[in-house]
Amino acid sequence: MRRLLTLFFLVVFLVSLWMTYDNVWSDGDPTRALAEAAACRVKDCKKRHMATTVRRMPEAQTFEFTWEDGMVSVSCHRAWYVAGEMRCEAP
């Protein structure tokens, strides 16, 4: 039983380490491009805009894009949080 518990915590640790690397330490440019595309579906991207806030957490990344007439918050994470395609959603 103790060996099974140790294996479980090792797997949880390795998954957490992977998620931290993937969302916090790795290159964020491809994810930012996906987030901007998701924000452009909500607001007109022909107008001048910029990313004002970027939050990179182990489970997801959040981007806030600001236009002159408002702001759009976009959340990006992997399909199953650990694996799968990166998805970005704007409310």
CATH at 81? 3.10.450
Residue 77: strand pairing partners: 87
C-alpha span between 13 and 58 (Å, rounded): 12
How are beta strands 70-78 and 86-89 bridged, if at all?
antiparallel
The whole-number pLDDT of residue 7 equals 97
Name which residue leads in pLDDT, 51 or 73: 73
Q: What are phi and psi of 60, to 5 degrees?
A: -165, 170
The total number of structural domains in the chain stands at: 1
Per-residue confidence at 21, pLDDT binned at 50, 70, 90?
very high
CA distance 67 to 50: 7
**Mean pLDDT for all residues in the chain:** 92
What 3-state class would DSSP assign to 31?
helix
Structural domain boundaries, residue 28: 2-89
Whether 81 shows a pLDDT value over 90: the answer reads no
